Amino acid sequence: MGITSSTGPLNAAASIYGVDDLVMFKKPRQKFNFSVFMEIDDAATLSDESYGKSFVFDRVSGVELPDYQYNVTRLNQYNHQRFVTTRQEISPSSITFYDTVDGHFQNLLTSYASYYYSQGLSKLKSPFASNATTGVINTPSGLNAINSLGRFFFNRIIITTTDTRESVFAGPPNTPAAAGDGRGRRIIMSNCMMTNVTHDRLDYSDSAPVTFTAQFQPEHVAFENF
- Could you read off the pLDDT of 60-103 as tens digits, one per residue? 999 999 999 999 999 999 999 999 999 999 999 999 999 999 99
Question: For the domain with range 17-122+139-225, which CATH number is right: 2.30.30, 2.30.110, 3.90.550, 2.60.120?
Answer: 2.30.110
Nearest to 31 by CA among 66, 69, 64: 64
Please state the pTM of the whole predicted model.
0.80
Task: Give per-residue pLDDT as tens, 195-226.
Answer: 999 999 999 999 999 999 999 999 999 999 88
Phi, psi of 106 (to 5 degrees): -60, -45
Residue spans of the domains in the chain: they are 17-122+139-225
Rounded alpha-carbon distances, angstroms, from residue 136 to 125, 126, 130, 139: 18, 14, 12, 10
Q: 111-130: per-residue pLDDT in tens?
A: 999 999 887 887 777 666 66
Q: Which amino acid is at 95?
A: I
Q: How far apart are CA 216 and CA 203, in angstroms?
A: 27
